[in-house]
Amino acid sequence: MRWGVACMILKLFKLPDGNQSIIVHGLTRFRLTSVEQTEPFLLGRVEVLEETFEPSPEFDALLASVRQQANRVIELSPNTPDEAAQVLNSITQPSALADFLAANLQADTPEKQALLEELDVEKRLRQIAARLATQLDVLELQSKIQSQVKENIDKSQRRYYLQEQMKAIRKELGEGDASGTSEVDSLREKIVAANPPEVVMKEATRELTRLESIPSASPEYGVIRTWLQIISELPWSTATTDHLDLAEARKILDRDHHDLDKVKRRIIEYLAVRKLKPEGGRRDPLLPGAAGRGQDEPRQEHRGGDGTKIHSGCARWRAR
């Protein structure tokens, strides 16, 4: 490294740990041409280097663009002092502006050394502009992420605040129990405990949200609540062993239902198929006919008149 900057020492600080720190003012660039002596101190011969640039509208536009980028970086950088923008705007010389920005760039030493050795001010400004653009992209992305996080936190806090207000209002109206748990919360706990399939749970959650926003005096409130109660009581994750005794099934059907011979025969046929092929797919029998003709009556036979279980699938029969 044979390039450097001639500086004037402005102030010397003695630190508590015994080290020293200085504030310097850069005067000009130089290149070391030869070393004359090393003892008792280093002495060398240098060549003072002059910077070059040609004023033009394009150069002025570049200078304004770099200044704008630098101000934006200062604005987005959390640890940059407020005086930095004032210092930046007070610099009028293009070379001094380029040096000020190069010294404060987030770059490693070799990159800064390369900027120091560039004597063409316009080229140096273009390199700084490219580096500022990269740094600005990162800062803007960080700012966007922080804004999104803050917005999500604000939404969560607002939702929590409103929910607490709703709980307080329901408590005053007597719509919650003594422990402060509302009917909606109780239904939600029961549905979660029932462990329904994902598609059912998704729909139940949507209806629970609707129920929270509907007044309890509304007719729709009762309809939704009844549906949710049914969902919470269905044995989604409970299974029983099939009892495929055809003679016992026919006996219970004849005992509890008069006539309906075709319906009974269809049920016995279904149970017979299930007995011969228990691993086959469960296809519940469809009982055709107009409403009110008794097709739904055999549904209770999954328990039997005396509570004996015949076939758990019968609970899903529907009239068609």
* pLDDT tens-place string over residues 57-114: 888 898 889 888 888 888 888 777 778 888 888 888 888 888 888 888 888 888 888 8
* Mean pLDDT, residues 184-192 taken together: 88
* Mean pLDDT, residues 241-249 taken together: 84
Task: Give the CA diameter of the chain.
Answer: 125
Query: Mean of the per-residue pLDDT values for the chain?
Result: 79
Q: Is the pLDDT at 181 greater than 60, yes or no?
A: no
Q: Which of 162-166, 232-236, 283-287 has the lowest mean pLDDT?
A: 283-287
| SS3 of 71-94 | HHHHHHCCCCCCHHHHHHHHCCCH
* pLDDT tens-place string over residues 203-223: 999 998 888 777 777 888 889
Distance CA 279, CA 274 (A): 8
Share of the chain above pLDDT 70, in %: 83
Q: Is the pLDDT at 177 greater than 70, yes or no?
A: no
Share of the chain above pLDDT 90, in %: 6
Most confident of 49-53, 148-152, 222-226: 222-226
Residue in 239, 236, 240 with CA at minimum distance from that of residue 194: 236
- State if pTM tops 0.75: no
Helix ranges, 22-120 (H) = 57-76, 83-90, 94-104, 109-117
Q: Is the pLDDT at 252 greater than 80, yes or no?
A: yes
* pLDDT tens-place string over residues 267-278: 888 888 888 887
For residues 307 and 45, which has the higher predicted lDDT (pLDDT)?
45
Amino acid identity at 173: L
